[in-house]
Structure 1
Amino acid sequence: MDVMAIPFDSPMRIPAEQFLRLRAYGAPPIVVALAAQGAFRGFKDTTTPLYAVGKYCTIISFYSFAGNVLNAILDPILIFVLHIFISGAAAATVISEYLIAFILLWKLNENVVLLSPQIKVGRANQYLKSGGLLIGRTVALLVPFTLATSLAAQNGPTQMAGHQIVLEIWLAVSLLTDALAIAAQSLLATTFSQGEYKQAREVIFGVLQATGTGLAAVLFITFEPFSSLFTTDSEVLKIALSGTLFVAGSQPVNALAFVLDGLYYGVSDFGFAAYSMVIVGFISSLFMLVAAPTFGLAGIWTGLFLFMALRLVAGAWRLGTRTGPWKMLWSAPEKPE
């Protein structure tokens, strides 16, 4: 939440600042965990990150709850039993993030030397260049969501609460399709680097068939009971339910947009991924700034839908023009048998 946009007399300001101060301690393990997950994807190992994030993990012959499971256990204890409330929610998340990072590093150490005595300057420069592009892309990605939260917060606690329910359900369900992006990234990177261009094209066509229509139908029917899990406040629920069409209707677009992200990374098309995200983020953010004062949350949600739709359009254009690394994928000769 952008606390700078919240009036000083807002009841949300102090809890928001408390939450952000504690959550800041979770930044180091998040960076470590994301880097480690990327390494496991390179090994085509999607099982270990899954165990670290959402299942049980064996550590020195003992089973311990990991990642989100630990977070889910600590949340009610710290919030409702110990009455730490907002700070408890932040602390639970930070603790789980350090556990996830520890598990991933511990498992990754079995496959690679984490502290190499030799650093190749050429590869390091290439890594820094790609990393810089992805950092820029991530910043551009976060701007529309931060702006949406900021604009919603200016409308008061009730509308902010309704918006947050809509956003959390929207993101949680949309990210289910991120599994396809991860699979596409790993498979496409392997086939592309090995010159298996026919198989690479089959990977692309296969993952693009995911439309998210099933998720849209399920959400449209079940959004009300999902929303009621967050609150019993009738006013907040009324606002949240007004976002049903946005959450359900955007799923097909979201699915393809996330899949295209995986394809970008699979062929190392980092430049286009970054620059297109900057343009898309700027356009959708500008739309929200214009639409939110007049249309309220509807304008904000339309801006977020526009953000995802433009990502899809940019990706479809890139694949259709077959420029950059995609040119090689369609024009290079097949690897001899």
Structure 2
Amino acid sequence: MIDRMLDGNVDVLEGKPEKALVTLAIPILIYLFISNSYNIIDGMWISGIGKAAITGVGSVTPLFNVVNGVGMGIGAGATSAISYFIGLNDKDKADNVGLHTIILTLIISVILTVVIVFSLKYYLGMYHIGSDAFNQAMEYGIPLFLNLYSFVFLGVLTGILRGEGETKKPMIASSTGLILNAILDPVFIYILNMGVMGAAVSTILTSILSLIILSYWVFVKKTTYIQFSFKSFKFDSSIIKRILSVGFPASVELVIMNIATTLYLMFISSISGNYGVAVFTTGNWIYYLGIMPITATCFALVPVVGNSFGAGDLEKIKNAYKFGCKYAVILGTLIAICIFVFAEPLGLIFANTSQNSDLLGGLVLFIRIVVFCLPFLGIGLPSTFMYQGLGKGVHSLMWTLIRELLFSVFFSYLFGIVFSYGLMGIWTGLVVGRTLANILNYIFANRTLNHLNLEQTDIG
């Protein structure tokens, strides 16, 4: 009981699931908004340089999202494992999960840096973009990926803290970085005349600052429930297995989503070149803002389900899941309506200069089509994340694969390329694919819960 007094967030995690979801989701939403705003703020300032810059940054964005996905994926594995062991009242195992996660992250960050930096030009070669956009992409991407460790560790530390119900500290650390990024972006891009490289440098400096703040709380001040003592570290392969059983599939999920994005960009660029890529890139920034409240609810669902699973409380798992879906559907519907109504003002954020004013019409059309799948994400995404809380990472991966590749890419290619409906067909295919996949995901997730066996097995 003394250990539990270190962090009252554990009490929230083990309380009523409805209250726990809302309490955890609000700081997570702010954290996600801040994290994703780095790209949006970069995009707002870069849009003034021209379509080649937007296209270059947009071409790098899927790979950058993969990097963030690795951090968030390993963090998801830590969240699931830590919340599970807290539910079992095994703090030593929970602490040991944190230590194993940090060491694992260090190894993966080094490997990832080498692979991406040396393969970036080959990756960009897959797109049908001009030489100017290619050069802009290299100028933006190389410095960004040389410092990818800061993005990966931010995602991992956030996941570790989320496992114990702590969501406010990551929010504060990221807020500080975002404010500084908003100030430094125009300075580096325009005043120092660094262009897209200036946006990358600004993002790097501010992410490092956020990481330093979070690391101070975790490793120096030690104001968290999970404690790190590397002197007492003992390697345990079962803990690595537990982390990776969710973390690896969760990371691959983000890779799949960005493979899908890469395929969309290839379809789009073959139809309309830089124009279509710029519309898709800027439109996606707005779309991702729209799904953040739904995603925050899903991230909050993982530790609540994981803790309930460890405690063997099936009824709490079901209540958390049902409330999460209901809450996310309401949010998705309201957000879809707002984005549809205010599509033009939102589009003007990115199409606000003489160099890119021609993007506005296509951008508004994109936004008003893709928002129709938001209410259905409210039942699909919680279903996917519920599997992570149960430690069923492969199930979560399978449904991401079905939604993003088998359905969304297929229908986009079918409508846009095969039926020759152009960009309108690709946007429509995205909505049809995601909607059908989310409905199926919801049906199968409910079947999983109805047949769930909570008899505890030796899982680490």
Q: Tell me the TM-score normalised to structure 2 length.
A: 0.64
Matched-pair contact (CA < 8 Å) for 2:127–2:265: no
State the alpha-carbon separation in 2 of the partners of residues 6 and 47 from structure 1: 39
Counterpart code for 1:90: A
Q: Which residue of 1 is the match for residue 453 of structure 2?
A: 328
Q: How many matched pairs?
A: 318
SS across alignment from 2:181: helix
Structure 2 unpaired stretches of 5+: 1-58, 60-122, 456-460
Matched-pair contact (CA < 8 Å) for 1:26–1:97: no
* CA 1:37–1:214: 2 relative to 1, 3 Å: same
Structure with greater proportional helix content: 2
State the alpha-carbon separation in 2 of the partners of residues 326 and 83 from structure 1: 60
State the alpha-carbon separation in 2 of the partners of residues 288 and 26 from structure 1: 34
Q: Deviations over 1:218-238 (max 9, x none)?
A: 111111111101122331101
* CA 1:126–1:203: 2 relative to 1, 3 Å: closer
Counterpart code for 2:267: L
Q: Tell me the TM-score normalised to structure 1 length.
A: 0.85
Alignment of 1:191-230 (within 5 A): 191-210=308-327, 211=329, 212-230=332-350
Matched-pair contact (CA < 8 Å) for 2:245–2:393: no
Counterpart code for 1:163: F
Matched-pair contact (CA < 8 Å) for 1:145–1:304: no
Q: Deviations over 1:86-140 (max 9, x none)?
A: 1111111222222222222222221321635211222223333433323332222
Matched, 1:309 2:426: no
Matched-pair contact (CA < 8 Å) for 1:3–1:150: no
SS across alignment from 1:156: helix
State the alpha-carbon separation in 2 of the partners of residues 92 and 140 from structure 1: 28
State the alpha-carbon separation in 1 of the partners of residues 262 and 438 from structure 2: 21
Which of 211, 215, 228 is the matching residue for 1:113? 228
Matched, 1:83 2:193: yes
Alignment of 1:72-221 (within 5 A): 72-109=182-219, 110=222, 111=224, 112-113=227-228, 115=230, 117-154=233-270, 155-210=272-327, 211=329, 212-221=332-341
Counterpart code for 2:228: V
Shift of 1:300: 2.6
* CA 1:205–1:36: 2 relative to 1, 3 Å: same
SS across alignment from 1:190: helix
Structure 1 unpaired stretches of 5+: 55-65, 333-337
Say which is worse superposed, 127-136 or 221-230, in terms of deviation. 127-136
Matched-pair contact (CA < 8 Å) for 2:384–2:396: yes
Shift of 1:180: 0.8
SS across alignment from 2:326: coil
SS across alignment from 2:342: helix
Runs of 4+ in 1 over 6 A off after TM superposition: none
State the alpha-carbon separation in 2 of the partners of residues 33 and 209 from structure 1: 30
Q: Which residue of 1 is the match for residue 126 of structure 2?
A: 5
* CA 1:132–1:102: 2 relative to 1, 3 Å: same
SS across alignment from 1:84: coil
Counterpart code for 1:185: V
State the alpha-carbon separation in 2 of the partners of residues 286 and 126 from structure 1: 33
* CA 1:7–1:189: 2 relative to 1, 3 Å: closer
SS across alignment from 2:132: coil
* CA 1:78–1:257: 2 relative to 1, 3 Å: farther
Which of 407, 413, 421 is the matching residue for 1:289? 413
Shift of 1:167: 0.9
SS across alignment from 1:6: coil
Q: Which residue of 1 is the match for residue 111 of structure 2?
A: none
